[in-house]
Amino acid sequence: MRKPAESQPDNQADREHALLLRTGETIAKALADMFAPTCEVVLHDLKQPAHSIVAIENPLSGRKIGDSTTELGLSRINDPNFPDVLQSYPNQFPDGRPAKSTSIGLRDSAGRCVAAICINMDISLLSSANRVIDQLISTGPASPVKESLRGRSLDEITRLLEEFAARQGAQPRALSADQRRQAIQMLAESGLLRLRGAPSSAADTLGISRTTLYNALNQIEQAEAAR
- The CATH number of the domain holding residue 58 is 3.30.450.20
Q: What is the mean pLDDT of the chain?
A: 90
pLDDT at residue 5, rounded to an integer: 46
Element (H, E) at 226: helix 210-226
Percent over 90 (pLDDT), the chain: 73
What mean pLDDT do residues 55-79 have?
96
Predicted TM-score of the model (pTM): 0.60
The count of structural domains within the chain is 2
Q: How confident is the model at residue 11 (pLDDT cuts 50, 70, 90)?
A: confident
Strand partners, 93: none
What mean pLDDT do residues 56-61 have?
97
Same domain, 34 and 95: yes
pLDDT over 50 at 27, yes or no:
yes
Q: How confident is the model at residue 61 (pLDDT cuts 50, 70, 90)?
A: very high
Range of the domain at 40: 12-124
Give the pairing of strands 98-107 and 85-92. antiparallel
Rounded distance between C-alpha atoms, residue 15 and residue 17, angstroms:
5
pLDDT at residue 2, rounded to an integer: 53
Where does a domain end: 81, 108, 124?
Answer: 124
